[in-house]
Structure 1
Amino acid sequence: MEFLLKQISQLAIKLGDVTFTDEQIKSDWLGNAPASATEIKLAEDRLGVELPQDYKDFLLVTNGFSAPNDIEPTFEHVSNIDFLKNIDSDLINIWSEVELVEIGKELAKSIVIAGINEEQYFLLIPPDSAGEKWKYWKFASWHPGEHPYRNLESYFRSVSHFIRDMVSKG
């Protein structure tokens, strides 16, 4: 994961689609210092869930990650993540209309790990029962709706490919 995030950082800085800090440019890194095991455990206790291992591995590399372009969301510090119902309950209500009720159910239990106060979110959706897997969604009303990923690495791989394509066209 660390190599992939470093690659995204370098490509995004090279592309220059958004403004980065002098420190980010100098270090070629859009991440923060790693989270501690204690910080992760505090978030899990606060949310009442055990977060998926790949997300915890991400946090142990970087406790938050700046948006690499104007399309992707900014990944939050672990102390800021929360259930979508506590951040944007109106969105859940809108997507809980009769024809959208299944999406609304998923949103109601989702945890926002990226995009707070931005145009789209990256969500972790806990499984309903043992044996089920966590779901990973990038979600925006303008998208429209959910864009699922197999896991966190598949999301970051898609970001890397997109930015690489933009750099090669640029």
Structure 2
Amino acid sequence: MDRHAWKPFLQRWSEEWHLANPDEEPDGDPWLGCTPATEDEVRALESRLGCVLPPSFREFLLVTNGWRHAGNFVRSLRGTEEIGWLADLEPMWADAYADWDEEDTEPAAARSLLISLEADAGVVYLDPGDVDEHGEWAAYDVFSWTAMGPDRHGSFYEKMYDFYAGFHALDRPRCDTQREWDAKVEDARLASLRGEVERPLAVLAQAARFGRDRASFLSFQMRTLLRRRRTTTPSTGCSPTATPSRGSSTRICSPHRFCRCCSPRTNAPAGSAPAPPSSSCGTAARSRSSTCSAVIRRGRTSRVSGSASATRSSTRPRTPPWTPVTRPGRACVTPSSTGGRCMRTTSHRSPCWPIPGPPG
């Protein structure tokens, strides 16, 4: 990230921080940064350290030589005159986490560059031994009261963005950033209803970092439905990409949406063979003991999940024809199997079962 991208980002952060904290520094400068460092000051720092600073942190110093209120638990970051190695400036922290990385021959805390000045029982540092292809050093923060180890981010910019998201999650200023995330959450919700999964989940996860409660709830709903789909869909489930022929009476399952029709019927006869693979959700159902109940027949209509009306077969069990009739009515005229007439009475006009009792 270059200095031209740092400036608007930090300026927006400063304005939103003052919206969330109007009583703190009411007459002060809304800019949370400091005077930019010069190229000579940055080169002097690199000469003193004996290494070249990572690109995002170097450009940051050329925009502001330090920073105030970097997150809710880091009150300030160091400038070029105060930056140094963690083992030299805070040896207690370097020793406390010296054996945290058991696989590394040299602990990260012992070789890292301390960049935080004031923090709530914690430190922020950059690791020159963990460098990506862009020359960025991994950034860590650790706080003793969390009872957890260092939290790693790929670069200094990613660490600052995480601080920015944490500020929104706790202070929740009423600003354009919050409204933008609310719009993205609604767009992700509509995309999930269209059958998308990966992109909506990624957007909801980012919005949850910014304290959008609706995003957390929607993400939980999606993951729950996907988990239920994975645990209930049989191995011979329907193919969501197949397209039925014109006039077909079957419905196609969404490729990612949980489909209750694919779950096996609990009242299927014991020992019955599983339904064969099918190109649509309902073509596998060819008898009453089918394991898929999404066959859409012409008859009743119902509206499902706000979609167009679909015709479904009724799942209401029919009354066995030999069930005794308890309501009074006219005498049945159906001949019995033993001759004569059935002595039951019925209030219906249709004839009853010819055998008086249950079969068998």
TM-score normalised by the chain length of structure 1: 0.82
Q: Which residue of 2 aligns with 1:8?
A: 13
Q: Is the 8 A contact 1:84 1:107 kept in 2?
A: yes
CA distance in 2, matches of 1:17, 1:88: 34
| Structure richer in helix, relative to its length | 1
Within 5 Å, which residues of 2 pair with 1:24-39?
24=29, 28-39=30-41
Q: What are the residue-to-residue correspondences of 1:75-154 with 2, within 5 Å?
A: 75-97=77-99, 101=102, 105-116=107-118, 119-127=121-129, 133-143=136-146, 144-154=148-158
Q: How many percent of aligned residue pairs carry the same amino acid? A: 21
User: Matched residues in 2 for 1:108 and 1:59: separation?
Assistant: 23
Kindly provide the amino acid, as one letter, of the partner of residue 15 in structure 2. Answer: Q
1:91 partner amino acid: W
Deviation at 1:13, TM superposition (A): 1.3
Tell me, yes or no, if structure 1 residue 167 matches structure 2 residue 170: no
| Structure 2 CA distance for partners of 1:139 and 1:43, relative to 1, 3 Å | same
1:80-137 residue CA offsets vs partner (Å, 9 max, x unmatched): 001011111122222224x654587100000111135752222111027896752111
Task: Return closer, same or farther for 1:37/1:118 CA change in 2, 3 Å cut-off.
Answer: farther
Please tell me the residue identity of whatever aligns with 1:163.
F
Change (3 A) 1:89 1:147: same
Q: Within 5 A, what are the aligned runs for 1:9-88? A: 9-16=14-21, 19-20=24-25, 22-24=27-29, 28-88=30-90
Bigger Cα displacement from structure 2, 46-55 vs 151-160: 151-160
> Which structure: larger Rg?
2
d(CA) in 2 for partners of 1:70 and 1:134? Answer: 23
Secondary structure at the counterpart of residue 23 of structure 1: coil
Is the alpha carbon distance of 1:30 and 1:129 closer, same or farther for their aligned partners in structure 2, counting shifts above 3 Å?
closer
Between the aligned partners of 1:4 and 1:152, the Cα distance in structure 2 is 14
Corresponding letter in the other structure for 2:159: Y
How many residues are matched? Answer: 165
Structure 2 contact 78–117 (Cα < 8 Å) conserved: yes
Paired with 1:19 and 1:145, the residues of 2 have a C-alpha distance of 32
Distance change in 2, residues 1:152/1:94 (3 Å): closer
1:149: how far off? Answer: 1.3
Asked if the contact 2:36/2:64 (under 8 Å) is kept, the reply is: yes
What is the deviation of 1:73? Answer: 4.2
Return the offset for 1:152: 2.1
Contact 1:8-1:68 within 8 A present in 2 as well? no
Does the 8 Å contact 2:78/2:116 carry over to 1?
yes
Please, which runs of 5 or more residues in structure 2 have no aligned partner?
1-5, 175-210, 212-360
1:23 is matched by which residue type in structure 2? G
Q: Secondary structure, in 3 states, of the residue corresponding to 1:74?
A: strand
Task: Report if aligned partners of 2:72, 2:167 keep a CA contact under 8 Å in 1.
Answer: no
Question: Contact 1:32–1:63 at 8 Å: present in 2 too?
Answer: yes
Alpha-carbon contact 1:73-1:121 (below 8 Å) kept: no
Q: Tell me by how many angstroms 1:67 deviates.
A: 1.4
